Each structure stands twice: as structure tokens, then as C-alpha cells.
Structure 1
């Protein structure tokens, strides 16, 4: 099949309007900018040990993250940029009738998850190999997409988020955890932190609605976004509620 030259040109133009490539850039970034933000380099699978470090609970308090997700037993949760599955394995036992989709672009990370699944005898975690632009999730299949210290490393953030939005059920949530870019005293490299203002701007660009930011973690924002539910029943309930409170 011959590719349409016009469509190729349109795609190239669209991409060039979304991202900017700069020759001079931070050594911690890839020289690619999205909405004014330079994208950080990905932490490779060789850093798996850091993800599983014993001090992580004290430093980041991931148990608090899990506790405020308000998960239901039958939820389907996509752990985007799952790495070694550190969060996946803490969420899975709560989903007695649901499952975790552990999504990562590195097959080596998914091999580690498979190893841990056998060691821990946990069966409701499904490793999924993603691409740089697509998390490979079926449409309207997930209740929650969770990204912990991962979003800032996405090489194609707009494409990935558009597909995550498509994969969310109406009313589904995206929870992003990122080191606070507003605080210069948090000793994390600048490109591996994000301000709440920047995150909200980028999520709004793909149609997500900000619901709340929880600053209950020592160094990170926990930001909750929602996919609007435009179904007839949802709009009816919303209109009834607005009529009552008036």
C-alpha cells in the first residue's frame, strides 16, 4: 500500500507543532520540549535496584499513595511506567475481583515483574509491553491510570496521554505523582520534578479535568484528574444535583 504524501506531511506538521527540538539542552534531558518543558531522560532497567531500595517507604511513603486511591475490589488499574512493579504489587492484593495492568516500555522490567509474580504468588498482575507512543490498553478498559515519577520521562507525552484517556472508562481517573518542581530544596534533578501548574496544563491539553491535588507526601504532589463522563445518565444526575443545591 502506498502512503499518501499529503497525510505524511500533515503528520509531520502536527508533530512539529507539538514538540520542539533544541540542540543546546540540559544534560539530564533529551533536548525535546513539550509545552515549554524539556523531557527528562528515562531511567533504564539498570536502575531497578533503586526502585526497590529499602529506604523508599520512608522517603516517599508509597503506602499513603495506595491508601488514597480509593480502590474498589473490581477495579482495573493501569500502572504506567511500572518499572519493577513496586506499586503494582502493593495494589494487586486490594483488587480481589480486579487486576493491575503493569505497563512498561522496557521488556527487562517486565521480566522482573514476572519473576516477582512467581515469588509472591500474585496472579492478578498482567505485564504489558508498551511503545513510546502507545500503552497498548483496550478502549474504555481501565478505571484508573497511575503514574509515579514516570510522566516527566515520556518521550511522546501527548500521544501516550491521548491513548490513556481513550483507555479510561467514562469517569475514570488519572493519578500522577511527581516531585514538586516548585521546591528548589527537594534534592532531585530539575527535569525529574514538575510543578503542579505545568502538569495541569498538560493534562488539560488531552481533555482531562483536574479534581484535586493532595500534598500528603514528603516531597511529591499527588494530582488527581478525571475523564469527563458525557453519558446521558451521568449528565442527568449532574443536572439533578445542581438543581438540588440551588
Structure 2
């Protein structure tokens, strides 16, 4: 079963140009369909490779950057300029829980996170809990197909498996994308809260 914790000693990898070429932040932001005033949870925010671009797209909203690693959040904190800091809340969690009220988030973003979680059903139920009705979980993760880069295939979920996990917690799958284009090794699955 997937589930392994990202080692913060490898934090530098999260901001490497090659990673950002394979996961362009502008493409990730486009997937969110933001209007500028939403509350977005970056679940597994790490060093903020996507937190910061999402915050720039939210002049009247906020990003709640959640991570299990205090070390990674400290690296994200170092990147914050005063203007962006107003729109970003950094939250350390030890249990994959999101310290928000029920139905508080418009969007939850998870990039390369689902395969890292040991208890995926519990984590996805927590994501569903914080989503407003109609709110979306945008999951972007490594394909389990053959690829020249990325974590071992044994750690990955297939797109159908990811879909089944979202549906099992009551999220309605609205979009599924196979790897391709500017996301050559990542699938996308979007689930909406009822």
C-alpha cells in the first residue's frame, strides 16, 4: 500500500528546475480555476513550490499551507515576502488533519501527496470535511506507468485507483486527465464535495 513520508533532507529537490519543468506552477494554478477570493488549502505544501504561485493568484483570498514537516514549512516561511505573507497561513500537522472548520475551503490542492499518505481514506475524508459544498479537491500525482523520473512505481497509485479513493469518501469525480502535454508524468483527478 502506498504511503511513505517525504524526507525533509531532500527539500532542495522540491524547488529544482527540472521538477518545476515537469510540474509547471502555472499549469497547477490553471487547474484550480481561481477567481481571486477563494480559500485554498495546499495539502502537503512542502517548501511552497505551488503555495506561492497560488497565493499570487488570490489577491483577495488566502492559502492555508499544511505539511507534516516543520523543516519544510520553515523553508517556505523563508520565501515569504510581506505582501504574500498576508495571504498565506503556515500550518504544521502531525496527523494529516487540516485545522479548519467544516466547509471552510473552496479548493484543496494536493500535488504528489496522495501516494505519500499511509491512511489515504482518512486523509481524503478530512479533505472532504473542509471543502465547501461544490468545493474541489485537485489531486496531481505521479503516474504508475513507466517513466524515466520520479519515485518508484511501487509507491504510486493508478488514476483509476485515485478515482476510487475519492469516490469512496463521497467526492464526485468531475475531471480525470492522463499524463500528457505539460504534465508528462502526472495524472490529474478532480473531485467535488456534494
User: Above 0.5 in TM-score?
Assistant: yes
With over 3 angstroms needed to count, the CA separation of the structure-2 counterparts of 1:224 and 1:69, relative to structure 1, is same
2:186 corresponds in structure 1 to 220
Partner residue, 1:39: 2
Equivalent of residue 83 in structure 1, options 28, 32, 46 = 46
C-alpha distance in 2, partners of 1:40/1:190?
A: 12
Moved more, 62-71 or 145-154: 62-71
Kept in 1: contact 2:25–2:49 (CA 8 A):
no
- 2:56 aligns with 93
1:132 counterpart residue number? 95
Q: State the Cα distance separating 1:129 from its structure 2 match.
A: 1.2
1:198 to 137, 158, 161: 161
User: Structure 1 pair 176/76, CA: closer, same or farther in 2 (3 Å)?
Assistant: same
8 Å CA contact 2:22, 2:184 repeated in 1: yes
Which position in structure 1 is the counterpart of 2:67? Answer: 104
Give the superposition deviation at 1:186. Answer: 4.5
Instruction: Report which structure shows greater RCO (CA 8 Å, sep ≥6).
Output: 2
Report if aligned partners of 2:2, 2:157 keep a CA contact under 8 Å in 1.
no
**Would you say the 8 A contact 2:143–2:157 is kept in 1?**
yes
Partners of 2:126 and 2:22 lie apart in 1 by 32
Q: How does 1:151-166 map to 2 (within 5 A)?
A: 151-166=114-129
Counterpart for residue 63 of structure 1: 26
Runs of 4+ in 1 over 6 A off after TM superposition: none
* Runs of 5+ consecutive residues of structure 1 not aligned to the other structure: 1-37, 229-246
Tell me the residue number matched to 1:14.
Answer: none
Considering only CA atoms, is the larger Rg found in Structure 1 or Structure 2? 1
> How many equivalent residue pairs?
189
Asked if 1 retains the 8 angstrom alpha-carbon contact of 2:98 and 2:130, the reply is no
| RMSD between aligned residues | 1.6
Q: Give 2:84's aligned residue.
A: 122
- SS of the equivalent of 2:84 reads coil
Return the alpha-carbon distance in structure 2 between the equivalents of residues 191 and 63 of structure 1: 29
Q: Over residues 35-57 of structure 1, what are the superposed CA-to-partner deviations in whole Å (9 max), with x where a residue is unaligned?
A: xxx12321121111000112223
Q: Which residue of 1 aligns with 2:147?
A: 185
1: CA distance, partners of 2:3 / 2:119: 11
Whether the 8 Å contact between 1:137 and 1:164 is mirrored in structure 2 is no
TM-score scaled to structure 2, two decimals?
0.91
